Structure 1
Amino acid sequence: MPRVARVRSVVVDCPDPRALARFYAEIVGGEPESEDADWVVLQVPDGPRLAFQRSEGHTPPEWPRSDRNAQQFHLDLDAGATWDEVDQVEKRVLNLGARLLKREEGDEDFRVYADPAGHPFCLCVIPGD
């Protein structure tokens, strides 16, 4: 099917765009660029452009609810080929201010965290061939 448009940005509402952009820059790379205090852009190296916009009265999503104030969106981040590698990334994101929401390693290939503004994101293990 022919493309109608291409994705320019994934935009995240939050109370402090600069702080949240710095949080994600520490995880995925890039340097936050601020047009003003209400809008900050992070160009992820070899990835999408993330934009963070101030939302006064921002209410964080409640994961895993599906009724009221559901997750809204989440990011899946490849964090390593083994759980040992993911463990190392987990330590870093927790030190940066993330909060663990779900850590089960059974059949699942991910762990769920909340960023400092409360948005869920996943650290995923990339199984080897």
Structure 2
Amino acid sequence: MARYPQLLHAVLETVRPRELAEFYRRLIGLRYRPGDEPPADDSADDPEWLVLVDSGGARRLAVLHVDRLPPLADRQPRTTWPQHDFPWQSHVDLTVPDLAELRRQRGRAKALGAELLHDQAGSHAEPMYAFADPTGHPFCIFVA
């Protein structure tokens, strides 16, 4: 019987772990793994590692604190997607069922702090939007 490693979750690095975790928690509708929730009082919150889980408790996304990560615009080389001079090395894909929901989610993503990088909503083959999250990680929302 063949045995394979199992994918646990994707990890995003950031200098602001709570902010990034909160962005994805609200965007995707995830929740914190027990023990990773924000403090109930006004105490300092400087986590090294946060995990977001789905409603069944399965890990979906983790956020890791790093001391330094230049903003997307300062990174060399910066992604040139959708041209492929310097493509993304990785990104998160999210899906929605139809074009109306795609447009609604564009508004939600922007309201949560995402930057629109590419608008392909008019494509008949694959309507989608590409964004950068508040710390510069790319992600896409497209019609499945």
TM-score > 0.5 by shorter chain: yes
Whole-Å separation in 1 of the counterparts to 2:91 and 2:7? 16
* Cross-structure match for 2:60: 49
Give the letter for the 2:102 counterpart: V
Aligned counterparts, 1:114-129, within 5 A: 114-126=132-144
Whole-Å separation in 2 of the counterparts to 1:45 and 1:124? 22
Give the letter for the 1:84 counterpart: A
TM-score for both structures, normalised by structure 1: 0.81
Q: In 1, are the aligned partners of 2:9 and 2:61 still within 8 Å (CA)?
A: yes
* Cross-structure match for 2:110: 94
Match of 1:84, SS? helix
Match of 2:95, SS? strand
**C-alpha distance after superposition, 1:88-125 (max 9, x if no partner):** 11101100000100002223332100100101100111
Pick from 68, 71, 92 the counterpart of residue 88 of structure 2. 71
Whole-Å separation in 1 of the counterparts to 2:69 and 2:118? 23
Higher strand share: 1
Structure 1 or 2, whichever has the larger Rg, is 2
Whole-Å separation in 1 of the counterparts to 2:84 and 2:14? 20
Give the letter for the 1:76 counterpart: D
Whole-Å separation in 2 of the counterparts to 1:108 and 1:120? 18
Give the letter for the 1:38 counterpart: E
Output the aligned Cα RMSD: 2.4
Q: CA deviation at 1:71?
A: 2.6
* Cross-structure match for 2:29: 29
Mark the runs of 5 or more structure 2 residues left unpaired by the alignment.
38-45
TM-score for both structures, normalised by structure 2: 0.74
Q: In 2, are the aligned partners of 1:71 and 1:119 still within 8 Å (CA)?
A: no
Q: CA deviation at 1:38?
A: 1.4
Mark the runs of 5 or more structure 1 residues left unpaired by the alignment.
none
* Cross-structure match for 2:49: 39
User: What percentage of residue pairs aligned between the two structures are identical?
Assistant: 32
